[in-house]
Amino acid sequence: MEPDVSIETSCMIRIAVLPVGTVPASVLRDYFSMFLRHHTIPLAAISSFYTEHQKSPFAHQPWDAGSIRFKFLLGGAPPSPWEDFQSNRKILAVIGICHCPSTPDLDSAVEQFTAACKNYSSALVQRCFAFCPCDSQLEDGGKKEDVLRLFPPADHQTLDIHLQTMMQEIAASLLMDFEKWVLKAESAGTILKTPLDSQASLSSEEVLKAKKRRLGRAQKTIGDYCLLAGSPVDASAHYSTALELARLTGDFFWYAGALEGSVCALLMDRVGHVDVVLEDEVKYQYNNVILHYRKSFIQDNAQRVSPLSFELEATLKLARFLCRSKLSKDVVELLTNAADGGKSLIDVNDRLVLFVEIARLFGTLGYQRKAAFFSRQVAQLYLQQDNKFAATSAMQVLAMTTKAYRVQSKASVSDPPCTKKQTGPSHTDSGKMHHHLIVSLFESQWSTLQMVVLREILLSAVRAGDPLTAWSAAARLLRQYYPLITPAGQNGLASALNNSAERLPSGTRSADPALPFVRLHSFPLHPSQMDIIKRSPAREDWWAGSAPSGPFIYTPFSKGEPNDNSKQELVWIVGEPVQVLVELANPCAFDLRVDSMYLTVHSGSFDAFPISVDLPPNSSKVITLSGIPTSVGPITIPGCTVHCFGVITEHHFRDVDNLLLGAAQGLVLSDPFRSCGSAKLRNLSVPSISVVPPLPLLVSHVVGGDGAIILYEGEIRDIWISLANAGTVPVEQAHISLSGKNQDSIISIPYETLKSVLPLKPGAEVILPLTLKAWQLGPMDFEIGGGRAATSGSTGRQFKNASVPTLLIHYAGPSTDSEDATIAKVSNLPPGRRLVLPLHVCVLPGMSLVKARLLSMEIPAHIGDGHPKPVHEEEDPASETVEESDRKMEKRLVKIDPYRGSWGLRFLELELSNPTDVVFEIGVSVQLDGTDDNNLPIDQDGNSEYGYPKTRIDRDYSARVLIPLEHFKLPVLDDSFFMREFCNEGSTSSSRSPSFSEKNTKAELNASIKSLISRIKVRWQSGRNSSGELNIKDAVHTALQTSVMDVLLPDPLTFGFRLTRDNSSPQQESGSKDSVLANDMAPMEVLVRNNTKEMIKMSLGISCRDVAGENCIEGGKSTVLWAGVLNGITMEVPPLQESKHSFSLYFLVPGEYTLVAAAVIEDANDVLRARAKTDSPDEPIYCRGPPFHVRVLGTA
């Protein structure tokens, strides 16, 4: 059988093209392709070379429209035993190709050519074409005009024209030779035989029949020559004669041949005008041809020779003819029959040709799967021949089938980027895709077939000695079908990969990745030290709005912003190393060593760092791949380059993503990652990465170690933070802000220090001082803190991180680095950065306040006359503090003046406990702020604090600290305090809501309490460098809540007593000046001070009691006589003034007496009523002074 047969084959003149001398293969191919262009020579073109020697037998030669066709056979072909039967099988001309530059000796070339021509006895024309001769060869070759044709050196086009002329000349000589042959054949009858004709049958045949048969065969052959000469009409005439004779003689084989020729002649005649009628005619005739070939089958010589191949050829010819008009059903039928017939073909090569042709025809029809099927049959036939060339052919044929079986090598897939790009990112984005699209990704998962095909490719490639193809096939097999391959098979494939790699030069690349499976795990965000913040050029605080603000992860307002879509952006910086986490999986049963692996970036603007990995069987591993971007611009990372099994391959993340998607849908055999025990990864969206120019980079550390700062509650400490610019660009803007919990624990922030050092040059360092005050631990903190003490480690860390304040430093380099500032500002302002600096503060529970309460202490004053205080300040605690402040400042003690007592003195008692294992010292100080100073006429010399002696609290002990509250009385009782209360009282009648007024009062109270509390500071110190402040606010607040008015406000009237005796009295000097002698007249004064801003009218009364509390002025047993008025004294005291009233007492019995002054205020105003908390306006307001002690000494 012959390949590439068609109906028109019968009219083609075969010309053997032989290389003469040494012709390089590429040059030969080049020359041959030039020949191929001249396969059809129009008859009109050859008339100049044609001379009619005698009357042409081709009477109906169409000189104007006809043509002669050539079929060039490179290298020639051995003579066929069937060339008598079909003249087109004869090699009718031989052309030698001589490439002069490589064949200098033309003589030997001619000799060689002549020798070669001897093999082609049927050749009518022999020519040797010598291309590109040099001058000497030109001269030399001129002598051998008859055989050798020298082509002058010229360009390709000129050469082509030369060649055309030569071919026309050949065509003309062939035509003349055909005429000669036909004339001879017509006259003398030639014996025409085929292998079908047995010797015996020919000799014993009866003569007449043999003669007729011979005549018919001669007519058929003449028809063949007519066809070759390009005269279909003549051919038809001869064929019809031949058909008649063949039918008569029962020569079915030749009948079929003649019929074939007549169909060809018909087609030739009607060239270009194929219609349905013609088609049907051809179909009918050819079916006849096939039938007659089948009839000619003779059983007795079937073992030796069979007309089957002609039947099949005819079938293929018809199929090819019908293919053109896409009558696929008929073609399929014909081809299926042909394939069936192939079984009976004796020659393996015939079967090979048959299957190749069937595959080609199916391919032409668009039946790729059918074509692939027969191609595989061809490959199997090749593989049955045990030689390297057959294996190579098998490999190449199988490579053609890979597309239909969808196992093609990536190298052969020409357009994956554009087609896959459309589906790839879209599904990774959405995570969901239309189902049919997913399915189409895994179309035709005929795993059995695919594995068989790949295995055959591997086998043929190994046999053919093509290590790269073998490697690629084994890689595809292993990567895609590992779940279907036994561990032994997997090991076999691994060794096949390694064996192939050994034969490959190192650094060979393959388009098909093998193992491991690589998927993108994550893009680690910049560590908080290097966060990149987009700058909004319009704002001064460019960092604002770049990060989500507020406590909510999701805010409805941010929806619809452009950055809201799932495609997040990643910014990399030139020169700063970046990391990408990828996950590797080795689902196979062998140890996998990845020699090196790095990220692939096609733009070349990325320096990737290779690493090597070992993967045990059935394992997966997350590794970090890193690299440095080297130039500005967008960057994409399609995958990574892996050097494994000795070959470099590129692994695309997208492919694995698709694979995993298919696995999730149950369309792919197995998920390699899950089978390795790796957790399911959420669908990672690949961010769009852009690389920006270098940015400054601040690196921070806490001076004195980055460890946690351990503070007790309330402790105040200064820390220093060192910031250094590790980048290559100066920091030009920087701003500190706070975030996180317990922000108020940072007392001072060195804004100015930072501002003053800008711009911070690369390499420069600045130290920022910061004052911290440890916060209070809440109940939750206590629990966790307690747990941390017990356990340690992780929980403690968590707790620490959860509650520490964080320092955010936003900084940026120069806003523009080019002169076109305006453009840059709009388009791409280099981003700024944020340094997140969590202050690792660990707060330990320190001293704790158990409770606070208010105590009052009443010590009666002694009556004396020597104390040097100004009259107007008497009995006024606030004034007293001022007056005696100097002294108190020195001793830092509460000094109770015995002459004044401390009636109404109140103490705040703080009960403190120390649960820690260190000793605390407590110091209380009271701050006097500016508002008080204004009211006080005498100020302390710049010193605004009172200190009290320190209290030491040992560990696990509690202690109480008393804080006198005497300093807080206001000097004047005026209506400012009650302003609101008046309003309320006035408005109670006018239907004002009482609850509202109460609330106001409460607020007023709270304000005053707050101001009071804020002036009391309880500081503590522990060890040498721990000191802090106790937060007592809440405790004091609750303690004071009820009685703040009493503490804060002075009484409207204050009373005082003193002795008024003349200083010259000797007794006075000898005795204690504050005592009174019995049985002596003791002149005294009562001082009444008005603390209000109104004139107060009152009725004053004085009473005296002894130690037993009996009234000793009135009653029957009175022991004290008196002179002057003691009761019902009517007095008027001007505002903020004092009045005195003198009287004398005469004590009969020595001992302790108590004098008490009391007054009933008349015409009291609202202020007084409010102070006295009277219920009704008619109620008298009664004021009682503190008791005063009088010690009466005996005279003895």
Partner 1 sequence: MATTASFIIVSRNDIPIYEAEVGSATKREDAAQLHQFVLHAALDIVQDLAWTTSAMFLKNIDRFNDLVVSVYVTAGHTRLMLLHDSRNDDGIKSFFQEVHELYIKVLLNPLYLPGARIASSHFDTKVRALARKYL
Interface with partner 1 by CB under 8 A: which residues?
328-329, 332, 336, 339-340, 343, 362, 366-370, 372-374, 376, 405, 435-436, 439-440, 442-446, 448-449, 452, 665-667
CB of 573 to partner 1, least distance (A): 45
Smaller CB distance to partner 1: residue 334 or 372? 372
Q: Is the CA virtual torsion 796, 802, 807, 812 positive or negative?
A: positive
The nearer residue to partner 1, 184 or 369, going by C-beta atoms, is 369
- Shortest Cβ distance from residue 356 to partner 1 (Å)? 16
Q: Which residue number, 406 or 1033, has a Cβ lying nearer to partner 1?
A: 406
Q: How far is the CB of 449 from partner 1 (least distance, A)?
A: 5
What is the smallest separation between the CB atom of 366 and partner 1, expressed in angstroms?
8
Work out how close the CB of 341 gets to partner 1 at its nearest, in angstroms, rounded to a whole number: 11
The nearest distance, CB 710 to partner 1, in angstroms, is 58
User: Which one, of 1053, 873, 1048, lies nearest residue 976 by Cα?
Assistant: 1048
Q: Taking the CB of residue 121, how many other CB atoms lie within 10 A of it?
A: 9
Q: Which is nearer to partner 1, 56 or 377 (CB)?
A: 377
Q: Please say which residue, 436 or 891, places its beta carbon nearer to partner 1.
A: 436
Residue with tokens 């704002």: 539
The least CB distance from residue 5 to partner 1, in Å, is 22
CB of 443 to partner 1, least distance (A): 5
Amino acid, res. 369? R
Nearer to partner 1, 336 or 1079 (CB): 336
> Minimum distance between the CB of residue 436 and partner 1, rounded to whole angstroms?
7
54: number of Cβ within 10 Å: 9
Q: Which is nearer to partner 1, 238 or 370 (CB)?
A: 370
> Judged by CB, which is closer to partner 1: 373, or 543?
373
Q: How far apart are CA 234 and CA 847, in angstroms?
A: 127
Query: What's the closest the beta carbon of residue 438 comes to partner 1, in angstroms?
Result: 9
DSSP letters of 1033-1077?
HHHHHHHHTTTHHHHHSPPSEEEEEEE---TT-HHHHHS-TTEEE
Nearest in space to 370 (alpha carbons), one of 331, 343, 342, 410: 331
Residue that is written with structure tokens 């998920």 in the block: 671
Structure-token pair, residue 202: 């020919």
Distance CA 218, CA 216 (A): 5
Distance CA 504, CA 506 (A): 6
Question: Is residue 1090 a contact partner of residue 1137, using CB atoms and an 8 Å limit?
Answer: yes
Q: Six-digit token pair at 49?
A: 């070379």
Task: Provide the CB-side half-sphere exposure for 853 (13 A, CA).
Answer: 7
User: From the CB of 311, what's the least distance to partner 1, in Å?
Assistant: 18
Cβ 344 to partner 1 shortest distance, Å: 11
Nearest to 640 by CA among 654, 619, 629, 628: 654
Q: 45 or 332: whose CB is closer to partner 1?
A: 332
CA–CA–CA angle 498, 504, 508 (5° rounding): 100
Q: What is the closest distance, in whole angstroms, from the C-beta atom of residue 452 to partner 1 in the complex?
A: 5
The answer to whether 1137 touches 1159, Cβ cutoff 8 Å, is: no
CB of 368 to partner 1, least distance (A): 7
For the stretch 157-165, contacts whose Cβ atoms lie closer than 8 Å and that sit 24 or more positions apart, written own/partner, are 159/34, 159/131, 160/34, 160/37, 163/34, 163/35, 163/38, 163/129, 164/38
Our CB check for partner 1 shows the closer of 340 and 564 to be 340
Helix axes 308-324, 328-342, angle to 10 degrees: 160
Residue at 732: amino acid letter: E
What is the closest distance, in whole angstroms, from the C-beta atom of residue 662 to partner 1 in the complex? 10
Q: Please tell me the distance from the alpha carbon of residue 480 to that of residue 445, in angstroms, as a whole number.
A: 10
- End-to-end CA distance of the chain: give it in Å, rounded: 166
Between 436 and 559, CB nearer to partner 1 = 436
Angle formed by the axes of helices 232-249 and 252-269, nearest 10°: 160
- Do 431 and 683 form a contact (C-beta atoms < 8 A)? yes
Residue 456 or 1074 having the CB closest to partner 1:
456
Closer by beta carbon to partner 1, 373 or else 606 = 373
- Pick 444 or 798: Cβ nearer partner 1: 444
Considering beta carbons, is residue 239 or 382 the nearer one to partner 1?
382
**Of 412 and 444, which CB lies nearer to partner 1 in the complex structure?**
444
Residue 645: CA atoms inside 13 Å, Cβ hemisphere, count?
Answer: 32
User: Taken in order 705, 706, 708, 714, is the CA torsion positive or negative?
Assistant: positive
**Minimum CB separation from partner 1 for residue 445, in Å?**
5
Output the DSSP codes for 648-663: EEEEEHHHHHHHHHHH
- Residues, the chain: 1196
Cβ neighbour number for residue 545 with a 10 Å cutoff: 14
Q: With respect to partner 1, which residue has the nearer C-beta, 405 or 799?
A: 405
CA distance 896 to 874: 14
CB of 160 to partner 1, least distance (A): 41
Cα 662 to the center of its chain, rounded Å: 21
Buried b (16+ CB within 10 A) or exposed e, 949-982: ebbebeeeeebbbebbbbbbbbbbbbeebbeebe
- Shortest Cβ distance from residue 470 to partner 1 (Å)? 21
Contact 1082, 1051 (CB under 8 A): no
1044 and 1005 Cβ atoms separated by less than 8 Å: yes
Nearer to partner 1, 446 or 609 (CB): 446
